[in-house]
Amino acid sequence: MEPDGRTVAELVAARWGDHRPGLWCEDDVLTHHQFAVGAAARAALLADLLPPGVPPHIGVLLDNTPEFPLWLAGAALAGAAAAGINPTRRGPELARDILHTECRILVTEPAQLPLLRGLDLPGVRLLTTGTQEYDDLLAPYAHARPDPSRATPSDRLLLYFTSGSTGTPKAAICTQGRLTAAGRSLAGQFGVTPDDVHYVCMPMFHGNAVIADWAPALAAGAGVALRRRFSASGFLADVRRYRATYFTYVGRAIQYVLATEPGPHDRDHRLRLGFGTEAGVVDAAAFERRFGVRLVEGYGSSEGGAAVQWSPGTPAGAVGRAGPGLVVLDQRTRAECPPAHFDAAGRLLNGDEAIGELVNRAPNPFEGYWRNPEAEAERRRRGSPAHGGPSRSSEAESGGGWYWTGDLFCRDAEGYLYFAGRTDDRLRVDGENLAAAMIENILARYEGADAVAVYAVPDPVTGDQVMAAIAGDFEPGSFAEFLLAQPDLGTKMAPRFVRVVERMPVTATNKIHRARLRSEGLRCADPVWCRPTAELAYRRLAPGDAEGPLAPTRGPV
Predicted confidence (pLDDT) per residue in 220-253, tens digit = 999 999 999 999 999 999 999 999 999 999 877 9
CATH architecture of 430-557: 2-Layer Sandwich (3.30)
Cα atoms found within 13 Å of the Cα of residue 491, Cβ hemisphere only: 11
The pLDDT value recorded for residue 398 is 35
Q: Which of the four pLDDT bands, split at 50, 70 and 90, describes residue 201?
A: very high
> What is the CA 263 to chain-centroid distance, rounded?
29
pLDDT of 71 strictly over 60: yes
pTM: 0.80
The pLDDT value recorded for residue 460 is 79
What are the domain boundaries of the chain? 8-177, 430-557
SS3 110: helix
Which residues, other chains included, contact 327 with Cβ-Cβ below 8 Å and sequence gap of 6+? 336, 358, 359, 361, 411
Stretch 252-281: mean pLDDT, rounded? 92
Minimal CA–CA distance to 303: which of 369, 204, 236?
369
Q: Which of the four pLDDT bands, split at 50, 70 and 90, describes residue 277?
A: confident
Give pLDDT tens digits for 120-170: 999 999 999 999 999 999 999 999 999 999 999 999 999 999 754 445 789
Give pLDDT tens digits for 46-70: 999 999 999 999 999 999 999 999 9
Stretch 11-28: mean pLDDT, rounded? 97
460 backbone φψ class: left, alpha, beta (φ>0; ψ -120 to 50)? alpha
Q: Which of 39-53, 198-212, 265-279, 385-399 has the lowest mean pLDDT?
A: 385-399
Which residues, other chains included, contact 238 with Cβ-Cβ below 8 Å and sequence gap of 6+? 199, 201, 225, 227, 231, 244
Distance CA 507, CA 163 (A): 7
Which residues, other chains included, contact 519 with Cβ-Cβ below 8 Å and sequence gap of 6+? none
SS3 29: strand
Distance CA 300, CA 189 (A): 14
Q: Which of the four pLDDT bands, split at 50, 70 and 90, describes residue 191?
A: very high
> Which amino acid type is present at position 502?
E
Give pLDDT tens digits for 88-130: 888 998 999 999 999 999 999 999 999 999 999 999 999 999 9
SS3 263: coil
Distance CA 433, CA 521 (A): 20
Minimal CA–CA distance to 43: which of 75, 15, 7, 20?
75
Give pLDDT tens digits for 529-543: 999 877 788 999 887
Mean confidence (pLDDT) of the chain:
89
Calculate what percentage of the chain has a pLDDT beyond 90.
67
Which residues, other chains included, contact 532 with Cβ-Cβ below 8 Å and sequence gap of 6+? 539, 550, 551, 553
pLDDT of 30 strictly over 70: yes
CATH architecture of 8-177: 3-Layer(aba) Sandwich (3.40)
pLDDT of 379 strictly over 60: yes
The pLDDT value recorded for residue 310 is 81
pLDDT of 554 strictly over 50: no
